[in-house]
Chains A and B, each alone.
Chain A
Amino acid sequence: MKGRRMSVEAREARQPWILLSPALGAVLFLLIIPLMFIVVYSFWLRSAMGADTVGFYLDNWQKALSDRFYREILLNTLKIAAITTVICGLMGYPAAYFIARSRGNKMTLLLLLMLPFWISYIIRTMSWINILGTSGALNTLLMTLGIINEPMQMLYNEATVILGLVHFLLPFMVLNVYVSLEGIDTNLEDAANSLGATRWEAFTQVTLPLSLPGLAAGGLLCFVLGAGTYITPVILGGPTDAMFANLVYEAIITQLNWPLGSALSLLLLAVLGVLVAIYNRYLGMAQLAKGLG
């Protein structure tokens, strides 16, 4: 009897692992093993003829960590991602609050929020060329209204790169904050009001602190996705505008220097990984999972 119960317990203990095994297999074969290849590659060298020299060399890592060029582009990438995240937070919070507190048309508003995801990110990014270009909608409008005499040059600079990123990432922020606000009991605000707090005080002292985990989760998503972007600077950036992912692309595709590209991509992964680890340490990943769900 005891042996039979042990067998049932053992089976129950095994069951989650059996159910998880497809997902774990996918993570192993599609993420861990390829990542290991990249780690190994990062210690190889590119020879003058373009082929790779197999071995254990620290040259790529030394270059990636000590070269001012890579350090400055990395810092610039983090700066652009941070600015984008702050703008997304400032624009996304009111929108999420409005959706969460609206009555009746909430589903319509959420559907509108999801609409941009139905269009390719590249197409959405390129749409700014038709809006901000020399013969784009905005210049045409301003000239028709007589506000300007000749087209303004608005495209192909760091500001348009940030604009493109905000356009891409704003829905992620709104969704995360919305999920967080939805979980807050509105009676708490009413209680604060009944105790003498103004609506603003009720918001700043009750709602805002309670929704901060959602804001932080949205911020983390925006920051990580923004810092890893490649296509936005290519489409909307000027000659000198580049983010770290562009350097990885150039090392691997243009220069065929896979070892250096591997080291650079691992460096970016490590920097973003540290940020995720800090977030997880203080806020946990549960809120992020809620927002993504």
Chain B
Amino acid sequence: MDNTKRYERLLERYRNGDLDRRNFLGLIGAAGLAYGVQTPFAKFAHAQEVQQVRFDGWGGVVSEAFREHAFEPYTKATGIEVVDGTFAGSDEYLAQVRSSQEGTYNIAHLSGVFDYARYVNFGLTVKLNLDNIPNMSLVMDALTNAFRGVTPDYLSAVPYDYGTTGLAYNRKYISDEEMKEKGASILIDEAYKGKIGGWGEWRTRIWYGALQTGQDPNNIEDMEAVWDAIRSHRDLALKYWSSGAELMSLLAEEEIYVTEGWSGRIAALQQEGHDIGYYDAPGSFAWQECLHVLKGSPVEACEELLNFMLAPETSIAVAEGQNYPPALDGTKVDLGDKIPTLPAYDPTGTLASLTFADPNYWNGNEAEWSETFSRVQRGY
């Protein structure tokens, strides 16, 4: 007898007058209490039988591509349902994961190696068996090695795509020549006061502050000069944008003429017909995204899903949808016509031309720099 039947019989007894209201409500309350108490433990009873895997990502075209090319074939092959969730930002997502029970969240499409290192620090990782993910052999070693730098003995994530945060500018007001000549310093050029934008994120601001002061972003020696550059940018900027949609809107509506921007979003603007240029200045900020399996997840089921997601047809569809090149090595896999034209694409498969952030260096300074940026951003 299922719970619905039990409830219906109880309700019938109450309606027939065989049960007084107090006892009826008491029994309903007791049933609710019993359900509430057992729910956290129910997952152990089902531990041997994985019925679903939760995936969280950025939504939009990326999720659509995943659904069509990875989740549906995976469910067909395994019978395991994929619950598809989205998040607004990786910081919020980490806060959610930290405050949830282990196993609630399984796979996440996260940013960069920073997040990987943060999840490692919080003990939110698993050890993947790469033998169960044969498509990993198609992934660029340069991307995988970045994760191995954080966890030399194991991987809890697989690389998925990469891109750059370069300089985006409106060609109606800024020529390609001027952009190349001024580089990152154009973001602190008085001539564009009130028409400059920037991502209100401490890492990007400090990275560009380092470039503007002629320093190596992975080895900053004069931090005060960087803070001064950030202050200059703050005083000239109209707005710190906080999402890709806002970045695109500010540029498309000509509220701002120049900002640093995400390569995929700028490519999307260009495809929409906006005359927006994109320039990766020397030392431009390169990053990668990964598919991270979180502690408490059904690892084997997740490994199988990762393999579906890394399959060339899935990776290429997602890459074309979000305009970021996939982690697949272009020397091993035919990536089609569009991907080689995307900003930041590296045909060599070595990524030697891109500058990635050193996760140990940046995460080691995170506590101090993120707090100081919060103050500098507010005029201090």
Q: Which residues of A contact B (CB under 8 A)?
A: 46, 48-51, 69, 73, 129, 133-135, 153, 155-156, 234, 238-240, 242, 247, 250-257
- Map CB proximity to A onto B90-115 as digits: 1 under 8 Å, 0 otherwise: 01101100000000000000000000
Q: How far is the CA of A50 from the CA of B379 in the complex (A)?
A: 26
Q: Indicate if the CB atoms of B92 and A253 lie closer than 8 Å.
A: yes
- The A-contacting residues of B in range 131-171, CB under 8 angstroms, are none
Is A255 in contact with B255, judged by CB distance below 8 angstroms? no
B375–A153 CB distance below 8 A: no
* Chain A positions within 8 Å of B242 at CB level: 234
The answer to whether A69 and B118 have CB atoms under 8 Å apart is no
A203 to B93, CA, bound (A): 55
Pair count A-B, CB < 8 A: 74
Contact B378 A253 (CB under 8 A): no
Contact A134 B379 (CB under 8 A): no
* Minimum C-beta distance from B196 to chain A (A): 10
Q: Given B200, B370, B380, which contacts A255 in the complex, CB threshold below 8 Å?
A: B370
Please measure, in the bound complex, the distance between the C-alpha atom of A259 and the C-alpha atom of B69, giving whole angstroms. 42
Q: Which residues of B contact A135 (CB under 8 A)?
A: 253-254
* B14, CB-defined interface residue at 8 Å: no
On whether A238 and B239 interact (CB within 8 A), knowing A50-B366, A134-B255, A253-B91, the answer reads: yes
Chain B contacts for A234, CB-based, 8 A: 242
In the complex, chain B residues 358-380 whose Cβ is within 8 Å of any chain A Cβ: 363-364, 366-367, 370-371, 374-375, 377-380
Q: Name the prevailing secondary structure of the A interface residues.
A: loop
Would A239 and B95 count as touching, CB distance under 8 A? no
The 4 closest A-B pairs by CB, nearest first: A240-B379, A255-B370, A253-B91, A156-B239
CB distance from B204 to the nearest CB of A (A): 12
Q: Decide if B202 touches A254 in the complex (CB within 8 Å).
A: yes
Q: Do B371 and A257 touch (CB < 8 A)?
A: yes
Contact A153 B194 (CB under 8 A): yes
A-chain residues with CB within 8 Å of residue B292 when the two chains form the complex: none
**Residues A238 and B366 in contact in the complex (CB < 8 Å), given A69-B375, A134-B254:** no
Contact code string B163-201 (vs A, CB < 8 Å = 1, else 0): 000000000000000000000000000000010001011
Q: How far is the CA of A124 from the CA of B2 in the complex (A)?
A: 46
B94 touches A256 (CB 8 A): yes
User: Could you list 28 examples of A-B contacts with CB < 8 Å?
Assistant: A48-B367, A50-B367, A69-B378, A129-B249, A133-B253, A153-B194, A155-B238, A155-B239, A156-B239, A234-B242, A238-B238, A239-B198, A239-B200, A239-B234, A239-B237, A240-B378, A240-B379, A253-B89, A253-B91, A253-B95, A254-B202, A254-B374, A255-B366, A255-B370, A256-B94, A256-B118, A257-B367, A257-B371
